[in-house]
Amino acid sequence: MNTVENREAIVATSAQYVPLCPADALAPGEMSRFDPEGMDPIVLCNYQGDYYALEDECTHAIASMAEGEFVEDQLVCPVHGGRFCVTTGAATKLPCRQALKTWPISIVDGVVCLQID
């Protein structure tokens, strides 16, 4: 996770930042779903104090991962129990085989932001 001290620093990069929530919004072990404008929903997870953003829809079928469980470093699908690694998005338990998409996170002026190209 990157921390950007001021907005002028990010203007110099080609990445776009999509603000999600204040940096202290989620405690370690908590997750929440967000619907950024123009994007599919994402689930934001605080794992051991660092934030990770993953696509919210399970790659196996139609399910919101934010309605499942967040156990250690795993997201557990509420429908069939498939699992994904929070830090990489990798599928770690069948029936899931395809990874969840992930995005880098930066903290900009105390706000958790998705970094998109």
Using the contact rule CB under 6 A, the part of the chain among 13-21, 40-48, 78-86, 104-112 near ligand FES is 78-86
Residue 67 DSSP label: G
Nearer to ligand FES, 26 or 83 (CB): 83
Question: CB under 6 A: which stretch of 15-23, 30-38, 77-85, 103-111 binds ligand FES?
Answer: 77-85
Residue 5, CA distances (Å) to 25, 45, 67, 100, 106 in order: 19, 22, 33, 29, 10
Helix, strand or coil for residue 49?
A: coil
Ranges within 9-68 binding ligand FES (CB under 6 A): 58, 60-61, 63
Q: How far is CA 71 from the centre of its chain?
A: 15
End-to-end CA distance of the chain: 16
What's the min distance (Å) between Cβ of 75 and ligand FES? 10
Binding site for ligand FES (CB under 6 A): 58, 60-61, 63, 77, 79-80, 82, 95-96
